[in-house]
Amino acid sequence: MDSLALVKSAFALFAIVDPVGVIPLFLLATQGFTLAQSHAAARIAALTVLGVLTLFTFAGEPLLMFFGIRLAAFSVAGGLLLLLLALSMVGAQISPQRQTKDEAQEAEEKDSVGVVPLGVPLLAGPGAITHVIVASTAAKGDVLPQGLLLVPVVLVALSVWLAFRAAPMIARRLGKTGIHVVTRLMGLIIAAISVEMIAGGLGKLFPGLLA
């Protein structure tokens, strides 16, 4: 995997995870926390993202093989999932794929907000997991390219930690409108990525379809 592919993967993963867009939920989930507790939640959320995405980077291909799913079919399904996520983000809304009402309620009942719902499913949710599985499976079992995919994963986890540590300042500077603008831009990028995934998957499933 060349450096350009790694940069594209990092930007795509950052757009899907969208740590800036999750800042309002982080502030809500950590309301009443001390500064130390807030920083601890940020660290736990980042480590959760790192752990979950690393797991699926290496376990994604064996899972597809176990269930007999072709990468092309998974690309189409994953593209549709990302498209739904993108449409919600363009509307500056939280997609049900990222957090259901029950999970939102659970966030108020648990102290471990860094893991649930911030780490999973808000950040390392279905969209991000789909992206790393498709990218790792495209490496065709080669350990080195799969290992290089950890670079974007680490960078995105680091961005989560930095964004959440600076959440109060970012929220003050951007405001709700600014955060919504960032979320909508990320949604447009994800929509384009999802269309490419769907088109690529359909092209492999039906070679004559897009000829």
**Tens digit of each residue's pLDDT (9 = 90 or more) over 12-60:** 999 999 999 999 889 878 888 889 999 999 999 999 999 999 999 999 8
- Residue indicated by tokens 């088109």: 199
- The answer to whether residue 173 is domain-embedded is yes
Q: Is residue 116 part of a domain?
A: yes
Does residue 30 sit in helix, strand or coil?
A: coil
Domain count for the chain, please give it. Answer: 1
Quick one: three-class SS letters along 122-150? Answer: HHCCHHHHHHHHHHHHHCCCCHHHHHHCH
Q: Nearest Cα to 17, choosing from 98, 103, 133?
A: 98
Q: pLDDT value at position 164?
A: 96
State the chain's mean pLDDT as an integer: 84
122 part of a folded domain: yes
Domain hosting residue 137, numbered range: 3-205
Instruction: Label residue 71 by pLDDT band (50, 70, 90).
Output: confident
End-to-end CA distance of the chain: 27
User: Is residue 210 one of the residues assigned to a domain?
Assistant: no
187: pLDDT strictly greater than 60 = yes
Is the pLDDT confidence value at 201 over 70? yes
pLDDT at 210 over 60: no
pLDDT of residue 109: 45
- Name the DSSP class of 206: S
Is the pLDDT assigned to residue 99 strictly greater than 80? no
Residue type, 72: A
211 found inside a domain: no
Would residue 97 count as lying in a domain? yes
Query: What are φ and ψ of residue 55, in 5° steps?
Result: -55, -50
Domain contains 179: yes
pTM attached to this predicted model? 0.81
The tens digit of pLDDT for each residue in 118-162 reads 898 789 988 899 899 988 887 766 778 788 889 999 999 999 999
